[in-house]
Amino acid sequence: MITKDHLKGVLGGSKKFLKMNEVKFCNVPAFDEIGVKNIYDRVVQSPGMAAYFPDKYPKGRTCCREYMYNVWNSIHPEDV
């Protein structure tokens, strides 16, 4: 989910997007241990990752699982 603040950050230069040809897509099994709630903070704290995610999400919302894993796999494939 792209928020208005993230889009403003992209246009301002503080946030980034990946081009579709740069994304290394992956299919991760749906286990609770590797769910967004459990590892999101670790992923965003990895070097260079915070620029691809909004600073905050609307109340009750989290990052899209596929988006998080695809960006993470594109930037740090050795960790995924």
Domain boundaries, the chain: 4-75
pLDDT digits (tens, 9 = 90+) for 39-67: 999 999 999 999 999 888 888 888 899 99
Mean pLDDT of 1-15: 81
pLDDT score at 9: 85
Cα→Cα distances 58→10, 25, 31, Å: 18, 26, 24
Q: What is the mean pLDDT of the chain?
A: 90
pLDDT score at 73: 96
Q: With 90 as the cut, is the pLDDT of residue 76 above it? A: yes
Closest CA to 44 of 69, 19, 11, 24: 69
